[in-house]
Amino acid sequence: MTLTINSPLDMHLHVRDNDMLKTVAPLSAKSFAGAVIMPNLVPPVVSLESLLDYRKRIFDAVGDEKFTPYMTLFFKNSYNYEFLQKVKEHIIGIKLYPSGITTNSQDGVKSMDIEELRDTLEAMSELNIPLLVHGESDGFVMDREKEFGETYAKLATEFPNLKIIMEHITTKESVSLLDKFDNLFATITLHHLYITLDDVAGGMLKPHLFCKPIAKRPQDREALLNVALNAHSKVMFGSDSAPHPVSAKESCGCAAGVFTAPIALQALAQLFEKHSKLDNLQKFVSDNAVNIYSINPPVKKVVLEKESFLVPDSYADVIPMFASSSLEWRIKSVV
């Protein structure tokens, strides 16, 4: 049995920089036609110059593969209309992080007070630049995303023409927002479709499954599965694949992030097949994103076949999800 995916897209991806970039970017480029690149480098990507430099480094890392890095800027409320007008053609959106909420987010916004963000968000709205949001409060870890729901609602209401992407949603409450506000969309990761907090901390503690937002309850996973498997038109696949060297994961303080880029399509095929929803995978990993963002990714046909794929124990010094386990689908060819 084979399955062809046309131009698969990863709408939320960390490729980092330097050696890590050289390790992981080619792995994404191998099976995806494009990816939305997160701007939380150290320092973050806040200028056109640094954005174009980063884009060039990604192309260098990727080599000859057909792969479009959809670039994002790191949100600053100092961005004005003129600046945004200038950068518009080079970016797919702007990523907003509340300060300190995840890896390399120290320079994020200190407050989600709409008035402090208004000028920049109005300019983005006028220029039709999407806002990508890491939506978590600074509350109790299991409540952070749910608590941010009010902020999503306020943003959606105050800026009705602003396209707002709720990144890597993990709760049933976030899912329910999709049908309440026309201008709210979402990405969903692979790992949040597979795991709950039980997988992270219910048996042994599993650092390689520790991520932000943290995996939630079984009911939350069910809600995510429901919209992903049915390819709800407002949800897109975004791996949030976030590589860390093994030394930063298996240590006294383990960094947040699950590395899934090289195994994501295979694991998605397995999941969608298990639920008899293989027909919807094309929409979830490509068509919905094309429609939501009005993009035109490179033509790339990824043929998956139902043959056992033993996931490597590591890629360089990064341990992927499903390391040393078998998935039921492998990539047969990419054209």
Residue 160 burial (10 A CB sphere; 0-12, 13-18, 19+): exposed
What is the crossing angle of helices 18-31 and 48-62, to 10°?
60
Q: Considering only residues 218, 226, 279, 307, which one is a binding residue for a copy of itself as defined by CB under 8 A?
A: 218
> Strand 34-37 relative to strand 9-13: parallel, antiparallel, unpaired?
parallel
* Cα 119 to Cα 158: distance, rounded to the nearest angstrom: 12
Give the active site residue among 179, 240, 287, 317: 240
217 binding a copy of itself? (CB under 8 A): yes
Q: Which residue lies nearer to a copy of itself by CB, 102 or 286?
A: 102
207 binding a copy of itself? (CB under 8 A): yes
Q: Quick one: which of 303, 226, 314, 225 has its CA closest to 24?
A: 314
Q: Which residue lies nearer to a copy of itself by CB, 123 or 254?
A: 254
319 binding a copy of itself? (CB under 8 A): yes
* Cα 188 to Cα 168: distance, rounded to the nearest angstrom: 5
Q: Considering only residues 200, 223, 225, 263, which one is a binding residue for a copy of itself as defined by CB under 8 A?
A: 200
Catalytic, 10? Answer no
Q: Quick one: which of 335, 312, 330 has its CA closest to 322?
A: 312
312 binding a copy of itself? (CB under 8 A): no
**From 21-29, 30-38, 117-125, 134-142, span contacting a copy of itself (CB under 8 A):** 134-142
214 binding a copy of itself? (CB under 8 A): yes
Q: Considering only residues 1, 42, 127, 141, which one is a binding residue for a copy of itself as defined by CB under 8 A?
A: 141
Yes or no: say if 213 and 264 are a contact pair by the CB < 8 Å rule. Answer: no
Q: Which residues bind a copy of itself (CB under 8 A)?
A: 140-142, 196-198, 200-208, 210, 214, 217-218, 250-256, 319
Q: Which residues are catalytic?
A: 240
